[in-house]
Structure 1
Amino acid sequence: MTAPFTDLFALHGRVAVVTGGNGGLGLAMARALRDAGAKVVVTGRDPDKNAAASDEFEVRPLDTTDAAAVTGLFDDIGRDHGVDILVNNAGIYLDDPVSEGDLSAWERMIDVNLTGSLRCARAAARYMREAGSGKIINVGSVYSVFGHPRSAGYAATKAGLVGLTRSLAAELGGRGIQANAVLPGWFPTDINGELPRLPRGEEIRRRTPAGRWGRNSDLAGVTLFLASRASDFVTGTAVPVDGGYMISDRFLDEGPR
């Protein structure tokens, strides 16, 4: 007898780790996983945000640039419970114009956004391989596709996450592990600050076919899909969650021309 359709999305008994899950988009993704039945552990570097998130989740302090700390955290969780789902959400934005400054911002973003994600994927994949199944979700950006005029490092690392996703999918697919990326569009986040209320924020809204900025709840469906059995034959993809921003070439009110 075929299992009920809703069982495809159930996560009861699954253990998920969400890096950078103590606020913003990561917290929204953690909530989606929890509401589907998963045991969720969130990580973060900010003590205040960690304390706030601890009202809802088990929270572990983690700097993903610390290789020993990453290995220790996943071993601590994996030995007792296994690791079924990893959401690589931890990331930073720094101004990094090509024509200015030194390489410090570039190197920091490479270490956090890209190498940090690889560290976590390697550590989680050890337990996923033992179990014969697993889900890795890397969080990119619209700047996985576009260039950034103020931060070459941010665009390069977010594009690199898509390449990392494909490589993880190719290497781990035979072990029953799927790796996919989510590319959020424009959401009110700490990184974007006051932007939604500035003229540039209104330009973004007008450019977005959905006619609005994203809401944290907009990430729930794609997170649940990519974390569940519903996506067992989906791997190596990059899914935009952007209200159509990346396919639009004009403001909504401009009309055809």
Structure 2
Amino acid sequence: MLEVSGNRRLLVVDDDRKLAGLIRDYLMPMGYEVELRHTGPEGLAEALAFPYEAVILDVMMPGMDGFGVLRELRKKSDVPVLMLTALGDEADRIVGLELGADDYLPKTFSSRELLARLRAVTRRARVRPGNDLPVELCAGALRLCEETHTVVLGEQVLDLTALEFAILTALLKSKGRVKTRERLIEEVSERRFDVYDRSIDVHVSSLRKKLGDDAKNPRFIRTIRGIGYSLHEPEVGDFA
């Protein structure tokens, strides 16, 4: 069984071993540890036996189908569940949602949509009443937690200066959008750092090195010439 610190464990329950393997191979570089089960009873037992951040659950399985697994799971657990199905019928989607599914993703789906929906259901779970888990800012395998002041890339904890941490936080909070150099300076200066126009470039360069980013072909932080910077999800392929 997985021994993973934090809250990054996922369980995939699907009798399609090839698809389950593709999901695992895609999500592991995103910073997740993924366990696979291929029957309903095995998946149910695993979901009840160990803590998971979320369960990705197929509907159409022999023996105990996904609806049966979800029905029994909800008697004892409120773990977020993202259901996968080849069925496109609205009635089937409604059944799953009424049984307690957090979201529904019909096959075939893109890897980006899977990741977006997975993050949405886990984010909603974090803000449920009584759930005081720290909230993380994420981009692929990069995770930042303001509460614990930690940054993790895959399984490696990064040693950032306070200013680098502030810059990365500001960029993650505006993920996918351009942050002008002036606005970035203004935001980190609010945290009592003394920065100026060109020094911000030096700090971003240092941050890139710690992220393993190539300035000419960056995975995370892109330079928008004459404007500033933007932080993006690493490029990934799609499932067919």
TM > 0.5 fold call: no
Higher helix share: 1
Give the structure-1-normalised TM-score. Answer: 0.37
Structure with larger Rg: 2
Higher relative contact order (CA 8 A, sep 6+): 1
TM-score (norm 2): 0.39
